Amino acid sequence: MCLTNAAPPPHHMMMTLAQTKELFRRAEAVCFDVDSTVIKEEGIDELAKFCGVGDAVTEMTRKAMGGSVTFKTALTERLSIVRCSREQVNKLITDHPPQLTPGIRELVDRLHQRSVKVFLISGGFRCIVEHVATQLNIPLHHVYANRLKFYFNGEYAGFDESQPTAESGGKGKVISLLKEQYGFKTVVMIGDGATDLEACPPASAFIGFGGNVVRPQVKERCSWYVMSFGELLKELEKI
C-alpha cells in the first residue's frame, strides 16, 4: 500500500474554540482587519461609488475576497478603473467618513486598558485607515495599509507596490514583522476575509468576524467565529 503525505490541516483548524479564546484573553497584540471588520463598508467600493464606477469595482472586490485572483492584480485593476484624485479621496473622507462597526470602540478601549497593543492591518488605503485609527486612539505607527500615489496636480499616480499589504499573504508578512520588532509571542488576528484567515500562522490565533458580512469560506475554516464585538468583550470580562 502506498502512503501519500497528506497536507496537515491548517493551524487555525487544529485549534479548539477553548484554545482560541484562551489565546485571545492573553494576547500581547491584537490585529484587526479594517474593511467590513472595524468599519461597516469596503473602502475601495465606497471610493469607487464616490467616483461613479461602483458596480464594476464591487464585482472585482468580490472576486478578490473569494481568492480567485491575486490581491495585487485585483487592486491594480480596481484602481485603474477608479483613478481617484487626491481631492476625491479627501472629499470622500469628509463627506462620507467610514462608519465604525458597533462595539469596536469599546473593544479597542478595553484592550488598551489591559495594555494590549492594537494594530490595524488593511489591504485598503492608508489615508482612510488613518482616519479610523485616530477615532479609535490607535497610534498611526500601528497602521499597516496601502498608500495611494498622486502626481503634484493631485491626479492618481498608482499605489506603492512595495508595501507588504499590496501582496497576497501581506497581512501574514506584517504579523511576522511585528513579532520580530516587538518580540510578541501571542498575536491574534481578527477579520472577515480570506486574507485575514491566511495570516494565521504567523498569527497565534484567528477569530472570524461576521458582523458586517459573512463569508462562508472563512466561517467554515475557523474555530471561533463571532457575529459581534460584544462577544469578544464578554470574553475579556472572564479574566
Q: Tens digit of pLDDT for each residue in 191-212?
A: 998 888 888 889 888 999 998 8
* Rounded Cα gap, residues 215 and 51, in angstroms: 27
Determine the pLDDT at residue 239.
63
Write the pLDDT tens digit of every residue in 85-130: 999 899 998 998 889 999 999 999 999 999 999 999 998 889 889 9
Asked if 118 and 135 touch (Cβ cutoff 8 Å), the reply is: no
Q: What is the pTM of this model?
A: 0.86
Of the candidates 212, 203, 132, the residue with the CA atom closest to the CA atom of residue 169:
203
Q: How many CB atoms lie within 10 A of CB 32?
A: 27
Helices 86-95 & 126-135 angle (0-180, nearest 10): 30
Q: What angle do CA 183, 147, 48 make, to 5 degrees?
A: 130
Write the pLDDT tens digit of every residue in 24-68: 889 899 999 998 999 998 888 888 888 888 888 877 777 666 666
- What is the third-level CATH fold of 17-237? Rossmann fold (3.40.50)
Q: Which three cell numbers stand for residue 210?
A: 461576521
Determine the pLDDT at residue 81.
84
Strands 205-209 and 187-191: parallel
Give 148's contacts (C-beta < 8 A, 6+ positions apart): 79, 84, 86, 89, 125, 126, 127, 156, 158, 159
User: Is 35 one of the catalytic residues?
Assistant: yes
* Domain locations along the chain: 17-237
User: Is 55 one of the catalytic residues?
Assistant: no
Instruction: Say which of 35, 45, 192, 196 is annotated catalytic.
Output: 35
